[in-house]
């Protein structure tokens, strides 16, 4: 009897051990999905768990926590430089080297500006020779393509470009700064960089719609280019209408550009001279401009249409001119690497994609002016930290690409709006004490 009991226990134990071993062997593969690196994001950083298979039935694991530093003033200053601009609006040798290094192999450089800054005009004047020395010969601006062709002709025909712009301001504009046939090159401070661009032999590209006060000037251009000069009486009548209404916002309760679109005399004149290729292009550009202005004045969204027009102009110039390197100076929202702050697939996104496809570098420079008329205005901005590193008597530049790299590698963290800025701009530029130029070059 004793023998029987021992045998039963022995057999039963063997069965248990055997079935346990068989379960582990057959089911171990079901948890092999754990193999690899797992990330658990927390407020304090990321926790990484690494699971490896050591042998057939054995796993090993380890975890580590990477604490992400928060973007701070100290971190921005770590990648910053200070410089000044000489009285004759030039860089020192060391500042020239600084900017050459920042630009590197970039073939498209965009100054994402705040319009009418006097200090940015000085910076642009000092910056153009640095770019010119490394092969930049094209200067794209936020004005119409036909207006830019007029500027290119003035470059060749005038001793000083700013004086010629002044003459056109007096002929077609008014003394008030905004009422000029040109835009963003018409203020007194703009004369600095426009004359410098002329001296260095830059060609101008106009990428935007034709400015709302340029139409009388463009009518004269149409008349000068038209091969059919038999409609002079109609031309004079149309020019008189435009001259009389040019600075009005509305006519008969219609937004001025909507009124232009429907004016029978204007359309009759356009139809009479639209046989010439160059004339037809000017008319088409004017009509596109009217359409965009009319929509915006009527509460109809037209920002994407405007951006698409700028992209089309850029591509057209690029194909025809085949430039080696390009500098752009436009409003900051137009030059972001991705979708603009207003949700527009803007020119900057288009250039970013085009440059990547062509293996060209596109570098954009985000401009800030925290000090205005001697007072610090940075506290009014949603980007207070950026503004706070500016100095009243020196320029400050920060390489945001280094900050971006730390964020992408999860060594640094931040949140909007700073994250948007870091991902969409390459260089942060802060001016010393600045003023806004409200005086027309008249």
Kindly report, residue by residue over 151-204, the tens digit of the pLDDT.
Answer: 999 999 999 999 999 999 999 999 887 899 999 999 999 999 999 999 999 999
Q: Which domain holds residue 38?
A: 27-67
pLDDT of residue 66: 63
pLDDT of residue 175: 86
pLDDT of residue 44: 54
Query: How many residues are listed for the chain in this entry?
Result: 442
Adjacent-strand bridge partners of 238: none
Does 356 fall in a domain?
Answer: yes
My answer on whether 236 and 202 are in the same domain is: no
pLDDT of residue 36: 76
My answer on whether 346 and 422 are in the same domain is: yes
Q: Which residues of the chain have pLDDT under 50?
A: 1-23
My answer on whether 343 and 293 are in the same domain is: no
Does 19 fall in a domain?
Answer: no
Q: How far is CA 267 from CA 195, 222, 235, 264, in A?
A: 37, 13, 11, 5
My answer on whether 387 and 282 are in the same domain is: no
Does 442 fall in a domain?
Answer: no
Does 422 fall in a domain?
Answer: yes
- Domain finish residue from 17, 48, 67: 67
**Cα–Cα distance for residue pair 89/86, rounded to 1 Å:** 5
Lookup: tokens for 357: 């496809």
pLDDT of residue 9: 29
Does 5 fall in a domain?
Answer: no
C-beta neighbour count of 362 within 10 angstroms: 22
My answer on whether 173 and 269 are in the same domain is: no
Domain count of the fold of the chain: 3
Lookup: tokens for 325: 């390197």
Q: Cβ distance 162 to 194 under 8 Å?
A: yes
Does 33 fall in a domain?
Answer: yes
C-beta neighbour count of 30 within 10 angstroms: 8
**Helix (H/G/I), strand (E/B), else coil: 305:** helix
My answer on whether 204 and 168 are in the same domain is: yes
HSE of 122 in the Cβ direction (CA atoms, 13 Å)?
21
Q: Cβ distance 440 to 181 under 8 Å?
A: no
Does 199 fall in a domain?
Answer: yes
My answer on whether 401 and 262 are in the same domain is: no
For helices 161-172 and 145-157, the axis angle rounded to 10 degrees is 130
Q: Is 200 exposed, middle or buried (0-12, 13-18, 19+ CB in 10 A)?
A: middle
pLDDT of residue 41: 65
Does 10 fall in a domain?
Answer: no
My answer on whether 142 and 158 are in the same domain is: yes
My answer on whether 186 and 47 are in the same domain is: no
Contacts of 133 (CB under 8 A, 6+ apart): none
My answer on whether 266 and 384 are in the same domain is: no
**Cα–Cα distance for residue pair 59/255, rounded to 1 Å:** 74
Question: Whole-model pTM?
Answer: 0.85
Q: How far is CA 110 from CA 76, 139, 289, 363, in A?
A: 21, 10, 24, 6
pLDDT of residue 367: 98
My answer on whether 287 and 138 are in the same domain is: no
My answer on whether 55 and 94 are in the same domain is: no
**Dihedral angle of Cα 182, 184, 188, 189, to the nearest 10 degrees:** -160
Contacts of 311 (CB under 8 A, 6+ apart): 347, 350
């Amino acid at each position: 009897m004793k023998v029987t009991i021992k045998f039963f226990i022995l057999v039963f134990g063997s069965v248990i051990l055997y079935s346990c071993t068989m379960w582990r062997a057959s089911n171990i593969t079901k948890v092999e999905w754990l193999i690899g690196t797992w990330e658990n994001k927390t407020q304090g950083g990321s926790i990484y768990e690494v699971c490896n298979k050591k042998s057939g039935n054995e796993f090993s694991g380890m975890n580590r926590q990477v604490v992400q530093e928060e973007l701070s003033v100290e971190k921005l200053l770590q990648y910053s430089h200070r410089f000044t601009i000489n009285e004759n609006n030039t860089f020192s040798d060391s500042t020239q080297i600084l900017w050459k290094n920042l630009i590197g192999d970039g073939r498209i450089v965009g100054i994402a500006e705040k319009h009418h800054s006097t200090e940015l005009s000085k910076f642009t004047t000092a910056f153009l020779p640095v770019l010119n020395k490394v092969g930049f010969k094209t200067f794209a601006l936020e004005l119409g393509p036909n207006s830019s062709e007029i500027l290119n002709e003035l470059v060749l025909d005038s001793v000083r470009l700013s004086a010629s712009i002044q003459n056109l301001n007096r002929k077609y504009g008014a003394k008030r700064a905004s009422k000029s046939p040109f835009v963003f090159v018409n203020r007194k401070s703009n004369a600095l960089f426009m004359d410098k661009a002329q001296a260095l032999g830059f060609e101008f590209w106009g990428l935007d719609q034709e400015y709302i006060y340029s139409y009388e000037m463009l009518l004269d251009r149409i008349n000068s280019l038209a091969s059919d000069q038999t409609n002079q009486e109609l031309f004079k009548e149309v020019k008189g209408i435009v001259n009389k209404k040019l600075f009005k916002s509305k006519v008969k309760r219609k937004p001025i550009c909507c009124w232009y679109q429907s004016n029978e005399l204007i359309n009759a004149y356009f139809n009479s001279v639209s046989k010439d290729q160059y004339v037809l292009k000017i008319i088409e550009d004017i009509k596109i401009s009217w359409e965009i202005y009319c929509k915006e004045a009527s509460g109809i969204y037209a920002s994407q249409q405007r951006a698409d027009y700028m992209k089309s102009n850029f591509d057209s110039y690029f194909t025809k001119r085949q430039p080696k390197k390009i500098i752009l100076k436009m409003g900051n929202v137009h030059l972001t690497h991705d979708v603009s702050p207003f949700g527009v697939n803007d020119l900057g996104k288009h250039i970013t994609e085009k440059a990547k496809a062509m293996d060209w570098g596109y570098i954009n420079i985000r401009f800030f002016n925290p000090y205005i008329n001697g007072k610090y205005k940075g506290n009014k901005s949603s980007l207070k930290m950026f503004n706070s590193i500016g100095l009243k008597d020196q320029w400050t530049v920060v390489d945001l690409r280094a900050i971006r790299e730390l964020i992408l590698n999860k060594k640094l963290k931040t949140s909007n709006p700073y994250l948007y800025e870091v991902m969409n701009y390459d260089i942060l530029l802060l001016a010393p004490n600045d003023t806004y130029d409200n005086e027309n070059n008249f």
